[in-house]
Chain A
């Protein structure tokens, strides 16, 4: 291997080391990027998702499937593979728009290979029928529902991976493979987290899929599912809830919490396990608390009923509520430099958490009062076609493209670091946001 290849770092540490400089004083770049994000969101929503638009993928699960897989593939490309095989110089010198087009196109191709090739073509045709719309139609399920059921099953893998893959980087700090070079590190962590996702899928969503059929697939899945007594429902939404909580908590810990309080633990493996399982513990606390909050607001859920009062929807809505916290948390980190940067960690984390909470409540209120007008979703909270995780994750995908692939263009640009800045950044930079070594 040539020496230049040996020394190539690809995108390892790129996000933390790039020197993003605002082109104009605050808040012009923030407003400009918000306008760009909004325009891109709305244009792509209309093209791909909107029930009044062009491709109308918001069925909802078909559209949600693509949305979730794009998210996890972005995470894989950036967090697990550190942009491999793209060289560092390409990342630093290519125009942000070109990078966005190239990298998003690659993500799209990978997504289609995973969904159509791996899940529908391979697993669906040769393993489990519920991954393949064609196989389900052969046993008499209507085309529409065959596509919806398959999309649900496939997207749950993405949902699990979007928790586990970043959790391995944030919680376990990529260990014990953090010192491996790319692509060995990426492939290893990908395989390990996908394996864990598979185990959890079979314990959570497989029994859900198993009772979709008549008769219940009692020989192949636990039916009724093992959780139905304490979750008050046979629906897998019970798991959707805590898995979404885990997904969001990972990013809260990574961004606005700067990996506090776990980072104060000095012993490496103790810190890693505490972070990884601490995220799960926090997620379960949110999972139960937000369910309780709904009971306080709407009354105790009644098993067997539909929508607002149904336990299955209440669990789903826990996940929906959590995603509203993620939007402002990411925005604060990406576009406000994780403000505030001064003061004690407790102060910083408390202020950001408070701002995130308030912003999430405002966005939640706005969403449920307006989304049926501008997104074409169903009015109200609880209709199966009112699925806020799709537009919110769609917007998050666009934010990730802008922040990860486009270096916050057009409001920001990459500037060469002066030696003073470099030294200051080295001391001021949040070590928690540094790449795993």
Chain B
């Protein structure tokens, strides 16, 4: 029984207490009601800020060199789980190419791994990878992400950007050779190598690019860790290294890098993505993984860049990379159509389930051919191309010579001759 139920000791005091308490509660209630009423919008900043004119280009062609960063979700996520979850430092996994001789999951480090391969970087990658095949955790699961952007400038010239450098030395080198990237790099035809973020599947194949073009300009995001910078050096890079600070940085006329300062799993931080403004068409978003989220990427563009409209998307959209699901992903499926994109080439970490939901909702997804290890034609797959402001054949010409027919191999990748063409 409480004091108050024992009877009033002082009516005036009790009244004042009640009045104070009631007023406080009432004020709290009003504050809560106001906080989610339409009236609150009066407090939001609706003034348009100054937009940056990044220029424009005539057209963009993106060739998917490889979107298959790994081949078996269960193995990859099993390793992550076994190592202690999504926050464990990626350099500790004992994944290739940083295997030590112990080879135990979660007991590696950059220092222990690099000492076994440093002497072989970047010119003896076969030997370096052979060591991984013997000592690393799931070396056969490593693939990699890389894409070539060919930009037709308004003056008629062409700029080429290599976005990311994959993971497995063996896999990405073969993919480079298949698409002729090795020759382009060696001839100095590629103007820049942009590393979207420090993740294993985008960055750890870095020595393969260095094998062909050690002098190339490299762009990494702010947030790279000490190990990442050391790996750039240990891979034999001798060109300029640009560390992109958060925000918009114009690269060429019509092309800009946007750095998002965002935390990413396995202790990675920051991502570079690209905006390419196509004259008369609109803005294309090109991403490695798009950890910032495609809607945020689009909203950022709408807020900060002068453009006609949002036009296209290419890359990994990092929605359900392991074909996991969360209701919040449905929020994206519900709303992406509102942004007016006309061409969407999605793959890699977007999630097959996500793209299937996009298609079911009528979004303009450009589907691929499921060759060279890509599992499903809903993805714009390995060796496929997409044009923005120009029409291009779905298969890159060189890949069409190797594998002219589109097909859907089993989900495991077994029976895919192109995959068998790799070491494993």
Contact = CB atoms under 8 A, between A and B. Distances in A.
B263 A386 contact: yes
B339 to A, nearest CB: 9
A13 interface: no
A320 interface: no
Q: Is the contact region of chain B dominated by helix, strand, or loop, or is it mixed?
A: helix
B78 A144 contact: yes
A264 B334 contact: no
Nearest to B353: A214
B269 to A, nearest CB: 6
A299 B45 contact: yes
Contact of B330 (A234, A287, A346): A234
Nearest to B74: A142
B157 interface: no
B43 interface: yes
B386 to A, nearest CB: 22
Contact of B293 (A142, A260, A305): A305
Interface string B1-37: 1111101100000100110111011001101111110
Contacts of A310: 293, 328, 331
A186 to B, nearest CB: 20
How large, as a class, is the contact surface on chain B? 35 or more
A236 B327 contact: yes
Given A285-B32, A310-B331, A292 B5 contact: no
Interface string A113-152: 0000000000000000000000000000111110110000
Q: Is the contact region of chain A dominated by helix, strand, or loop, or is it mixed?
A: loop
B22 A261 contact: yes
How large, as a class, is the contact surface on chain A? 35 or more
B3 A263 contact: yes
Contact of B32 (A142, A287, A300, A345): A287
Interface string A296-340: 100110111111011111000000000000000000000000000
Contacts of A147: 81
Contacts of B336: 304
A51 B40 CA distance: 40
Interface stretch (A29-37, A77-85, A371-379): A371-379
B87 A376 contact: yes
Interface of A: 51-53, 56, 58-60, 141-145, 147-148, 173, 208, 211-214, 224-225, 232-237, 259-268, 271, 278, 281-282, 284-289, 291-293, 295-296, 299-300, 302-307, 309-313, 345-346, 372, 376-380, 382-386, 431-432, 437
Interface of B: 1-5, 7-8, 14, 17-18, 20-22, 24-25, 28-29, 31-36, 40-41, 43-45, 73-74, 77-78, 80-81, 83-89, 261-265, 267, 269, 291-296, 299, 322-328, 330-336, 353, 357
